[in-house]
Amino acid sequence: MLIGVPKEIKNHEYRVGLTPSGVRELVAGGQHKVLVQTHAGLAIGFTDEQYIQAGASIASTAAEVFERADMVVKVKEPQPVECRMLRPGQVLFTYLHLAPDPEQTKLLVESQAVAIAYETVTDERGGLPLLSPMSEVAGRMAIQAGAHALEKAQGGRGVLLGGVPGVSPARVAVIGGGVVGLNAARMALGAGAEVTILDKSLTRLKEIDMVFGGRIKTLMSNSANIDECIREADMVIGAVLIPGAAAPKLVTRAMLKHMKPGAVLVDVAIDQGGCFETSRATTHQDPIYIVDGIVHYCVANMPGGVARTSTQALTNATLPYMQELANKGWRQALLDNPHLRNGLNICHGRVTYQAVARDLGYPFVDPMEAIKAAS
Ligand SMILES: NC(=O)c1ccc[n+]([C@@H]2O[C@H](COP(=O)([O-])OP(=O)(O)OC[C@H]3O[C@@H](n4cnc5c(N)ncnc54)[C@H](O)[C@@H]3O)[C@@H](O)[C@H]2O)c1
């Protein structure tokens, strides 16, 4: 199979669909070839020479990649110009997030391509293995970003996370103890802060208590506990997720009055609308703003800020699925692996993901039926 890797064209997107070491793994058996668009990874230190050494060929344009590849691998959802380059039966493997995006969905349906979304591939434990690497990155980065925002020059309290001998460390409250929350807590603990995690799931709180051996305080998430916790916190991380729904507003504007002036809110859940009433999405160019003396950091695509680490983490997770698709061909790979099949969103003009069909008014076609019909 020929696997194509175009350069990402979305504004300020520096990640790339495959690292040079990923290329090396794919071409190792001699069965597959990889075609990378020139300068696809240059911004994050992956040069054309590195891709060539790993065994890839270089294409001078995206059009050449889309024209020749059997499977196109990317990071972000295809832009309209990319959708129009897809051809019937070609596999597209990338983040799609189709439910809120009628235009992209229409173009992918029209393309007759086979669109497999990273974000809906599942694993045997009910997790989302191609979404979690970005949550790991965002969770860890939340503490780094929040620590910077705590500095006086940013409007923060002027508090160092770990304190110093003789001076108390900062207090960090993490609301939501999933992938983001756990990774944020780990970083905060590592920096020497006093950390509390709040979650609605008692099972999750028990797991966290075991994992950290009691070094992190756990609290049931309810409005009384949140209210009490944020009064004492120097930094609050918003990391909740209710799958398929907007994030609940757990900290209201009125509650900000009880917080310490210059405390920091990092709303990682901003991509689902945010879990603080005063959150609004910001960018890496202008990441923070202040409301009622409280510093807010609400960047909606945090992993993009550490694009090299994110690309490596993403390739680690996506590569086994790419290999499966390339080795078996997309039909057999999807027939054999129900978790990969859950990633199938559009197949030869049919919408095969229930939530996308429901939200955008397309008839839902069972993925098995669509795969067999395309054979
Ligand atoms: N901003 C970014 O760049 C970025 C990057 C990655 C992920 N995210 C977002 O971060 C959020 C968290 O993602 P995740 O992967 O950790 O999800 P996850 O499913 O692993 O964890 C979510 C946790 O929230 C808990 N929760 C739900 N309702 C709660 C409540 N009322 N109070 C406290 N806890 C509650 C759940 O029990 C669960 O443990 C999501 O909205 C995700 O989209 C944002």
Q: Hey, which of 143, 241, 252 would you mutate to test ligand 1's pocket, going by the most ligand atoms within 8 Å of its Cβ?
A: 241
Cα 269 to middle of ligand 1, angstroms? 6
Ligand 1 center from residue 270 Cα (angstroms): 10
Six token digits for residue 87: 């051809």
Q: What is the pLDDT of residues 79-124, one digit of tens each?
A: 999 999 999 999 999 999 998 899 999 999 999 999 999 999 999 9
Measuring from atom 41 of ligand 1, which residue has the nearest CA?
A: 269
Radius of gyration of the chain (CA): 22
- The amino acid at residue 338 is P
How crowded is residue 320: how many other Cβ atoms within 10 Å of its Cβ? Answer: 12
Ligand 1 atom with least separation from CA of 299: 1
pLDDT of residue 245 exceeding 90 = no
Distance 15 CA to ligand 1 centre (A): 23
Given the CA of residue 176, which atom of ligand 1 is nearest to it? 34
Task: Quote the pTM value.
Answer: 0.93
**What is the DSSP secondary structure assignment for residue 260, as one 8-state letter?**
P
- Name the helix (H) or strand (E) containing 238: strand 235-238
Which of 203, 204, 268, 310 has most ligand 1 atoms within 8 Å of CB, for mutation?
A: 268
The rounded distance, in Å, linking the Cα atoms of 182 and 198 is: 11
Q: Which position has the token pair 């090396």?
A: 24
C-alpha–C-alpha distance, residues 343 and 70, integer Å? 18
Atom of ligand 1 nearest to the CA of 303: 3
Q: Is the Cβ–Cβ distance between 70 and 2 less than 8 Å?
A: yes
290: confidence class by pLDDT, cuts 50, 70, 90: very high
Known catalytic residues are: 97, 271
pLDDT given at position 244? 67
Which residues' Cβ are closer than 6 Å to ligand 1?
134-135, 138, 175-181, 198-201, 204, 221, 239-242, 247-248, 250, 268-272, 300-303
**Contact between 180 and 169 (Cβ < 8 Å):** no
Confidence of residue 243 (pLDDT cuts 50, 70, 90): confident
User: For residue 183, what pLDDT band results from cuts at 50, 70 and 90?
Assistant: very high
